[in-house]
Amino acid sequence: MKPDTQYLHTGNEVDPLYGASSVPIYQASTFHQGFDDEVLYDYARSGNPTRAALENIVATLEGGVRGFAFSSGMAAITAALLILPSGSHVIACEDLYGGTFRALTRVFTRLGIETTFVDATDPQNIARALRPNTKAVYLETPSNPTMRIIDIRACAEIAKGAGAVTMVDNTFMTPYFQKPHELGADIVLHSATKFLGGHSDVIAGVATVNSDALAQEMYLIQNGFGAVLGPQDCFLVMRGIKTLGVRMRQSEATAIRLAAFLREEPQVQRIYYPGIKEHEGHATHMRQATGPGALLSFTLRDEDAVRAFVKRLKLPLFAVSLGAVESILSYPIRMSHAAMPEEERQKRGITAGLLRMSVGLEDIEDLIEDFRQAFAAL
């Protein structure tokens, strides 16, 4: 099946009991058991049919063997990292979501799990950072927020050679544009709060794995720690996935036009968008993904310019988050990367003039008009 058909006909088959058009919300914490029966579901932390439907859908879309739905993207990321034994060493790309950076540097260190951050745009930096106890390579591409591109296949090969698992946060691209399992990733992670859910109305996370052995490990953590996604939220994410293709295509088309507009705008000092030919890593990105996606970042002169611009803008939400039907403009130093020390932010180009735009479904003419009038105030 082509993706658009897959989003509608994977796991959303007609309900066998009543013919309902969508998966029912099984709002139940427990399930009756015949005294000697083997039951599929016994307690909803361990398994719930609505959650199982979502988990199967995402596993199928990502090409993994099994999926796991969690109460947030951070819960999914934490669960993946918790499969590592204490004393493990992790190699992570240096330009990653601030919450993941915080978990690695302030929480996992307590378990004796140490992380080396490298510029993974050169996969040899991963090879150079390997230690005998390296158990995982953790990547985000395009990275957050400066859209640096990492060659997933090359990094996964290095990790595999060293006996480490490769984890890829695929939140920005979704399986519509990029399928990390096909490129060698063992665990794919999502903040399903973003494009999968797509409507800024649910906090959710998903992980998919490419082997039964990893599935067992992830299930142990999911059931053992219990940060599962509730059935109503599973339903919302499934509903979002039905329109994933059409949303991603439309938002990307608008992002391409917005990037072209921003390139001509004198107030914009720099644009970070994988769809621009001169963007570093553009060729690698277009080899491993089918499109540049709906996110772009750009820099203005300084914080004062950002303040004046944001105050004049009318359409985008000025908010934390991304990947929704409405455009969301965010200010990484105060939002997604507030958890990262200033010195680390500077190293990554996350400056006071940097804004990140998640392009939604508004008409491009209206977005450009809004941007134009806000730039006029600078």
Ligand X SMILES: Cc1ncc(COP(=O)(O)O)c(C=O)c1O
Report the distance separating Cα 337 and Cα 332, nearest Å: 5
**Would you count residue 118 as binding ligand X (CB under 6 A)?**
no
Which range of residues in 3-11, 68-76, 264-272, 306-314 is near ligand X by CB under 6 A? 68-76
In angstroms, what is the minimal distance from the CB of 91 to ligand X?
18
Q: Which is nearer to ligand X, 7 or 172 (CB)?
A: 172
Q: Which is nearer to ligand X, 162 or 319 (CB)?
A: 319
Q: Out of 11, 67, 73, 145, name the contact with ligand X by CB under 6 A.
A: 73
Q: Out of 97, 273, 331, 375, name the contact with ligand X by CB under 6 A.
A: 97
**What amino acid positions are annotated as catalytic residues?**
45, 97, 169, 194
Site string for ligand X, 334-353 (x = CB under 6 A): --x-----------------
**Would you count residue 191 as binding ligand X (CB under 6 A)?**
yes
Q: Out of 6, 48, 50, 72, name the contact with ligand X by CB under 6 A.
A: 72
Task: Using CB under 6 A, count the residues that bind ligand X.
Answer: 14
Q: Which is nearer to ligand X, 136 or 374 (CB)?
A: 136
Q: Which is nearer to ligand X, 145 or 245 (CB)?
A: 145
Q: What is the number of the residue whose Cβ is closest to ligand X?
A: 73
Which range of residues in 15-23, 47-55, 71-79, 115-123 is near ligand X by CB under 6 A? 71-79
**Would you count residue 174 as binding ligand X (CB under 6 A)?**
no
**Would you count residue 74 as binding ligand X (CB under 6 A)?**
yes
Q: Look-up: residue for tokens 């920005």?
A: 172
How far out from the chain centre does Cα 372 lie? 30
**Would you count residue 99 as binding ligand X (CB under 6 A)?**
yes
Q: Which of residues 16-35 bind ligand X (CB under 6 A)?
A: none
Q: Out of 78, 88, 178, 193, name the contact with ligand X by CB under 6 A.
A: 193
Q: Out of 171, 210, 297, 299, name the contact with ligand X by CB under 6 A.
A: 171
**Would you count residue 250 as binding ligand X (CB under 6 A)?**
no
Q: Out of 82, 127, 162, 203, name the contact with ligand X by CB under 6 A.
A: 203
Which residues, other chains included, contact 237 with Cβ-Cβ below 8 Å and sequence gap of 6+?
A: 54, 69, 192, 196, 197, 202, 204, 206, 229
Contact positions toward ligand X, by CB under 6 A?
A: 72-74, 97, 99, 140, 144, 169, 171, 191, 193, 203, 205, 336
